[in-house]
Amino acid sequence: MTPAAVASDHAAAPPDRLSKPEMWASALALSLMALLPITEMVSRQFRLPGVPGSTVVVQHLTLWIAFIGAAIAARSNQLLALSANTFLPERMVAPVRVFVSAIGAAVAICLAWAGAQFVNAERLEAGELALGIPRWVAQAVMPAGFLAIALGIVWHAAPRWRGRLMAAIGLLAPCVLGFLPVPHTEPMLIAGILVILIAALLGLPIFATLGGIALLLFWTEGVPVAAVPVETYRLVASPVLPSIPLFTFAGFLLVEGGANQRLLRVYQALLGWMPGGLAVTTAVVCAVFTWAGSGVTILALGGLLLPMLVKARYPEKFSIGLINASGSLGLLFPPSLPVILYGIYARTPIDQLFVGGFLPGMLMVSLVSGWGVYQGTKNKVVRTKFSGREALSAAWEAKWELAIPVIVLVGLFGGFGTLVEAGAITVAYAFLVECLIYKGLSARTGYAKVAKECVTVIGGVLLIIGVAVGFTNYLVDAQLPGRLIEWTQANIHSKYEFLLLLNLALLLKGSFMDVFSAIIVVVPLITPIAASFGIEPVQLGVIFLANLELGYLTPPVGMNLSYSAYRFKKPITYVYRATWPFYLILLFGVLLITYVPWITMAPVRWFAALGN
């Protein structure tokens, strides 16, 4: 998965008059999302009346953040796509961009139309959100957001108005589809899906790929296309999903405030004396920050770590591979966003997933660190002399940030509040530490800027999740899970055969689909099959996420590969070769996690025993 910003962008940027309003709107929405749960938690502790309807308001703020962020991403050409068009001849880039933009605009405008139908139906029902606010008012951000996305895609189709007008033809899609014959035929469906898949290979945003296919499937069956935004609304406005933007915002605040450099100094002081100590430090620091986003880790730490590794006499290729592989090492540790989303969608206790993922996560970090120690010994890299004074000084300087894991874990497992409240506390603590104590981030200007960056990333991700769930809903309605169970029971007779097939399927899926979409699309298909083989839900979740962690490194479009190629200005094939040894090492770890269930389930049983 590659952000469109990573692709070469020849389109002119739109006027930036909206930048400041976007910044302050983002800051306001995220601040309210954090303050309301904290107020609710404090009120509950002191048995005071809370804010009426605060939970529902926070859920719908997530909806607004999703669509405002997606609109900002479209306006700034940062919608997530599978391809960066780097394989095309130069003369083909411009016309292909116009074609892909026309398809993307067509899907977005159809989703806007479907969203308008959904909102109108809600308006007629006259349901209320909270404090007398009609529900349809909050939901109106969906069609408005999709419309803004369509316009943003058209704007970036070309640097001149001629190309933009050609891409704008896609905005006529609802009119064209309205005149096609009914019932819609299977050849029309196949042709439409082929066009979308070709566009996806050429750079169509992921949301348009999944949303377009979902719309075509419902349209062919004669089901109202409003079914897609209905499912989007149900998921995005769920009780637990607000924790994702909250924890992400906390991660952004920490990175922008300089926490990465302070923690790097701590781990280097503690581990730098070892053979390969800097490589171990790299793996540990990247694992700490992965929960803020794998791409964020590589982009934020890569420029800092690569010169240090090369200066210490690690080969450049090894160093890039190490940073690339380490960029997803923290995927199983709290408060990993994919773990939260998996727990929501698979209906598996999130706390048990985090407990079950601890030893597998440590295994993956240890494997990468072990290879780093071997390479450090082999290349006789420079080691730093251990200094107790430096270690104490570094730990004292970073003491507030070193306390963050304790705060997160207490919030998650201490029974003081919900997952959303834990995320809100983490945001408040990160703001206090970075803006008021260290003052590495300006509370007046930097806070709003970081909020906008966070909302842009989260909007792009939640947009994909929202439309992917519509696609999944069609698969469930078509009884595909039941058919897969029947086929599996008829052809696969061993749990281990199923697990091997699952490994292969997830690695293949991870090579071209982002982790969030994969959770939404694949989980409903595999959970009933796994249950039929007696696989524990927590074990399945950890296996699933460990495989997708490796998917970040799987060609052709593993997300870490694309981010590394962009960050280090290297050909993607160079990044493939640099990452290959780490891929094999982590593949060994994934197989251990899959076929030795004790690694996952023993901590879960210990934790349950302590609770009793």
List pLDDT tens digits, range 156-200: 988 888 889 998 988 887 766 655 555 556 777 888 889 998 998
* Burial grade of 87 (CB within 10 A; 0-12, 13-18, 19 or more): exposed
Please state, in angstroms and as integers, the Cα–Cα distance from residue 409 to each residue in 23, 423, 425, following that order.
30, 11, 11
| Same domain membership, residue 230 and residue 322 | no
Q: pLDDT at position 189, please? A: 82
Cα 593 from Cα 358, distance rounded (Å): 11
Task: Give the count of alpha carbons within 13 A of 23, CB side only.
Answer: 13
12 occurs within a structural domain: no
518 occurs within a structural domain: yes
* Domain hosting residue 209, numbered range: 18-236
Cα 575 from Cα 562, distance rounded (Å): 8
- How confident is the model over 334-349, as pLDDT tens digits? 878 788 888 888 889 8
253 occurs within a structural domain: no
Cα 249 from Cα 262, distance rounded (Å): 19
| Same domain membership, residue 104 and residue 183 | yes
Phi then psi for 341, rounded to 5 degrees? -65, -40
The verdict on whether omega for the bond into residue 315 sits within 30 degrees of 0, i.e. cis, is no
| Same domain membership, residue 201 and residue 326 | no
Cα 548 from Cα 30, distance rounded (Å): 28
Q: pLDDT at position 300, please? A: 66
334 occurs within a structural domain: yes
Phi then psi for 391, rounded to 5 degrees? -65, -45
| Same domain membership, residue 503 and residue 571 | yes
Residues 514, 80 contacting (CB under 8 angstroms):
yes
316 occurs within a structural domain: yes
Six-digit token string for 194 = 């082929």
**Which of 314, 466, 467, 454 minimizes the C-alpha distance to 376?**
314
Q: Which residue has the higher pLDDT, 321 or 16?
A: 321
Neighbours of 62 (CB within 10 A): 23
293 occurs within a structural domain: yes
Cα 350 from Cα 108, distance rounded (Å): 33
Neighbours of 161 (CB within 10 A): 9
Please determine, for residue 102, whether its predicted confidence score (pLDDT) is greater than 90: yes
Instruction: Tokens 């750079």: give the residue.
Output: 203
462 occurs within a structural domain: no
Please determine, for residue 306, whether its predicted confidence score (pLDDT) is greater than 60: yes
| Same domain membership, residue 131 and residue 217 | yes
Q: How many domains does the chain have?
A: 2
| Same domain membership, residue 500 and residue 564 | yes
Mean pLDDT score, 12-23: 68
Q: pLDDT at position 585, please? A: 94
Q: pLDDT at position 611, please? A: 64
| Same domain membership, residue 161 and residue 73 | yes
| Same domain membership, residue 168 and residue 63 | yes
| Same domain membership, residue 30 and residue 126 | yes
Mean pLDDT score, 7-20: 53
| Same domain membership, residue 288 and residue 185 | no
| Same domain membership, residue 284 and residue 196 | no
The set of residues, in sequence order, having a beta carbon less than 8 Å from that of 527 and lying 6+ positions away, is 346, 537, 540
Cα 88 from Cα 91, distance rounded (Å): 8
255 occurs within a structural domain: no
Would you give the DSSP letter of residue 128? Answer: B
Pick the last residue of a domain from 236, 258, 286.
236
| Same domain membership, residue 168 and residue 22 | yes
Please state, in angstroms and as integers, the Cα–Cα distance from residue 31 to each residue in 81, 131, 249, 414, 557, following that order.
29, 20, 10, 24, 35
